A and B are shown apart, each in its own frame.
Chain A
């Protein structure tokens, strides 16, 4: 087998004072023509660094300590800058994670693609090639799209433009750095298919960076697993996915939520804790003194009931209205119509004062562990604050905060420390403790694990499940991740464009989806054909 790219013993240093001496250490990997190599790892594993090194785009201040990067037999690290520049975009191309910011906002889409052609001396072809390329990535109306500015395009469309741009000069190697992470699942699946398709058509070698084993199962020919700057395991995709050898790989794969939900005993239908009826929230945008604004219905036709002790998952893509719905329940968003019945009392028309007693009973856990804690308040204060506001004596509230820290498996010594001293997963536990301090009946969890690495995600999910059972909590669980929903929810409601299109017991919805959108969502779960190996250490004869 001929190799296209071969990285040999590459070590890139970090500036002094980092958490480790080298960003990546002794990396060795190869990509063959027509092959997709997935480099998998959690945040901070150095997987992006490897990609940047191959493109000659390492940030200044990060020295290459040793190693070679051979591309079609030539050492890229030994090339002069100008030579390297000529290779970039023509023989080597790259696409990035954030399609929303990866295009120049002031340049028309077509001009940005044409620029890629022009700087490599192919300006003459631009007028013909640009629409061709846009059509090749399945974008509608290429002629018109080429004249648009990026802000008119959706995230998925922008990522297609990026791919068109990267493929403009038919490079031999495409490096894709988490190209689908910022996209919705259905869009992610389309982009993955597109990458496979164009790569297969032209025999391009692809180095695909990702953190998601589902994506790996979907697309990889071979896999390299990275941990703290080193490759700990590599091999053919089927082998790494189904019979992982290294402990870290096993742990990562074990942490992937199972795609198939377990049958759960139906919850006794009693008097519902929460019922939403005819809730409608409309946002108005733009329109100053002289202009007319636009309005957009974030939530409508979203009736749900929540029985004591059950977990209802609200599943949907970004913009589906699921977060608006969750926020309406805690009065962070005020719907203009409908009833929000909590134990039969309509909360919607209540004033801030009249709402206050209900604050004890309904609490919320937020998505972003880095934004959900006040950076200037100690952990103990943050947890005790709620009960103190509601009249609990300070000493008692602080004592209770200490117990809660233990409950969420943190050291009570954390009381006097500040949020920045904790990792994302730890912060999420603190946020959970803050909500639990109010001893709520109903917990709203808004994407509580989506900002976390997969291994941390598994721990927090397990903790949530455990606490829910112990305290008998009822939970409204918002998520975009169907695998997470399958793992934790008794029932799910699927939201699309502000409305619930289907709801029912999790296992039933997953097994036989009734609505086409639900089917599309389920078909888009990356790696849905792959069942992770059992979590226990496999027995060998």
Chain B
């Protein structure tokens, strides 16, 4: 409750939460707002916004841009959330193992993580999606594979410091089993940064997905924001709206998630908040 109050005191976070709720609502209501497929012709080609009954205009094949954006929201959110969940699971598992066990295991896991952080993640993602043929699954897997390392690092650092805290040592002296120490003593106290990271990771996963589909690596059966911008790119001189509006959609969604992440970070860590206010 106190947490919620601290979160609400952060104006940016509230704006972000409202914006995200709107995006989610659009995604959920897409079939109601725009019955019929977003791939179908709905008006004259290249109709500017507002004309021909098209709120945001049409593309070169007369498809409704607004419908495309609404359906694109579903893909972006789905990919963002699923990829984040997967990357958090990988990151927590590896980071917790490394941080709790320490020693050689820690060394090995951290070298592995460093390796993944060194290689250019976007290039790897392109390669993965291209080789395994673009589909929603390969995209989610590729994004998860390139976004777990920061999670692993943060979780490891938290575990490493919590592991040596006296209350964890006390639990050990009481004779608790390691698995129960990890689950009841360490993990609950490491949750705050994981939650914050989850919201920031969702934002970057959405950016990554849009970048991939901009390059033509989106799921060919799904309408996405990056795909819309990709088709608008070559006709930017005659139909600016085709590139502008999907970009605004990405911008709003990603900004909302970042704002929420910052709000959560401040709310979960009051000490830092005070410093920021001074």
Known contacts A374-B185, A374-B189, A376-B188, A389 near B174 by CB under 8 Å: yes
Q: Is A61 an interface residue (CB 8 A)?
A: yes
Asked if residues A359 and B175 are in contact (CB atoms below 8 Å), the reply is yes
CA distance A359 to B171 in the complex (A): 11
Stretch of B145-153, B162-170, B206-214, B228-236 with 4 or more beta carbons under 8 angstroms from chain A: B162-170
Residue among B165, B171, B180, B185 making CB contact with A371, cutoff 8 Å? B165
CA distance A372 to B171 in the complex (A): 10
Asked if residues B175 and A356 are in contact (CB atoms below 8 Å), the reply is yes
Known contacts A60-B278, A61-B278, A385 near B169 by CB under 8 Å: no
CA distance A367 to B172 in the complex (A): 16
Chain A facing B: main interface SS: loop
Asked if residues A434 and B188 are in contact (CB atoms below 8 Å), the reply is no
CA distance A371 to B278 in the complex (A): 27
Q: How far is the CB of B179 from chain A (nearest CB, A)?
A: 12
Of A60, A330, A362, chain B has the most CB atoms within 10 Å of the CB of: A330
Chain B facing A: main interface SS: helix
Asked if residues A389 and B176 are in contact (CB atoms below 8 Å), the reply is yes
Q: How far is the CB of B91 from chain A (nearest CB, A)?
A: 21
Residues of A369-408 at the interface with B, using a CB-CB cut-off of 8 Å, are: 371-377, 385-386, 389-390
A interface residue count range (under 10 / 10 to 19 / 20 to 34 / 35 or more): 20 to 34
Residues of A close to B278: CB separation below 8 A:
60-61
Q: Is A332 an interface residue (CB 8 A)?
A: yes
Known contacts A371-B167, A373-B167, A374-B167, A332 near B188 by CB under 8 Å: no
Asked if residues B167 and A385 are in contact (CB atoms below 8 Å), the reply is no
CA distance A363 to B184 in the complex (A): 20
Residues of A close to B173: CB separation below 8 A:
330, 332, 359, 362-364
Residues of B close to A431: CB separation below 8 A:
170
Q: How far is the CB of B276 from chain A (nearest CB, A)?
A: 13
Contact with A along B45-83 (1 / 0, CB 8 A): 000000000000000000000000000000000000000
Residues of A close to B184: CB separation below 8 A:
374, 377
Residues of A close to B167: CB separation below 8 A:
371-375
Residue ID in chain B nearest A444 by CB atoms: B173
Asked if residues A438 and B174 are in contact (CB atoms below 8 Å), the reply is yes
CA distance A179 to B188 in the complex (A): 38
Known contacts A374-B185, A375-B189, A434 near B170 by CB under 8 Å: yes
Q: How far is the CB of A441 from chain B (nearest CB, A)?
A: 14
CA distance A366 to B172 in the complex (A): 13
Asked if residues B174 and A359 are in contact (CB atoms below 8 Å), the reply is yes
CA distance A442 to B178 in the complex (A): 23
Asked if residues B174 and A371 are in contact (CB atoms below 8 Å), the reply is no
CA distance A377 to B186 in the complex (A): 12
Q: Is A368 an interface residue (CB 8 A)?
A: yes
Q: How far is the CB of B143 from chain A (nearest CB, A)?
A: 31
Known contacts A60-B278, A356-B175, A390-B175, A366 near B189 by CB under 8 Å: no
Q: How far is the CB of B78 from chain A (nearest CB, A)?
A: 32
Q: How far is the CB of A375 from chain B (nearest CB, A)?
A: 7
Asked if residues B166 and A368 are in contact (CB atoms below 8 Å), the reply is yes
Residues of A41-62 at the interface with B, using a CB-CB cut-off of 8 Å, are: 60-61
Residues of B close to A60: CB separation below 8 A:
278
Residues of B close to A363: CB separation below 8 A:
173-174
CA distance A305 to B55 in the complex (A): 86
Asked if residues A385 and B174 are in contact (CB atoms below 8 Å), the reply is yes
CA distance A390 to B177 in the complex (A): 11
CA distance A372 to B172 in the complex (A): 12
Asked if residues B175 and A332 are in contact (CB atoms below 8 Å), the reply is no
Residue ID in chain B nearest A61 by CB atoms: B278
Residues of B183-221 at the interface with A, using a CB-CB cut-off of 8 Å, are: 184-185, 188-189
CA distance A387 to B109 in the complex (A): 36
Contact with B along A52-92 (1 / 0, CB 8 A): 00000000110000000000000000000000000000000
CA distance A527 to B194 in the complex (A): 50
CA distance A130 to B30 in the complex (A): 74
Of B170, B172, B176, B188, chain A has the most CB atoms within 10 Å of the CB of: B170
Residues of A328-387 at the interface with B, using a CB-CB cut-off of 8 Å, are: 330-332, 352, 355-356, 359-360, 362-364, 366-368, 371-377, 385-386
CA distance A432 to B106 in the complex (A): 33
Residue ID in chain A nearest B178 by CB atoms: A352
CA distance A368 to B180 in the complex (A): 23
Known contacts A366-B166, A368-B166, A372-B166, A389 near B175 by CB under 8 Å: yes
Residues of A close to B188: CB separation below 8 A:
374, 376
Residues of A close to B176: CB separation below 8 A:
385, 389
CA distance A352 to B175 in the complex (A): 8
Residues of B close to A367: CB separation below 8 A:
166
Residue ID in chain A nearest B187 by CB atoms: A376
CA distance A389 to B167 in the complex (A): 16
- 22 A-B pairs within 8 Å (CB atoms) are namely A327-B169, A331-B172, A332-B172, A332-B173, A355-B175, A362-B173, A364-B169, A364-B170, A367-B166, A368-B166, A371-B167, A372-B165, A372-B167, A372-B170, A374-B188, A374-B189, A375-B189, A377-B185, A385-B176, A389-B180, A390-B175, A434-B170
Which 8 pairs across A and B sit closest by C-beta, in order of nearness?
A: A359-B175, A372-B166, A386-B174, A366-B166, A374-B167, A371-B166, A376-B188, A364-B173
* Besides A364-B169, A390-B175, 6 new A-B residue pairs in contact (Cβ under 8 A), listed by A number: A330-B172, A331-B172, A360-B175, A363-B174, A371-B167, A431-B170
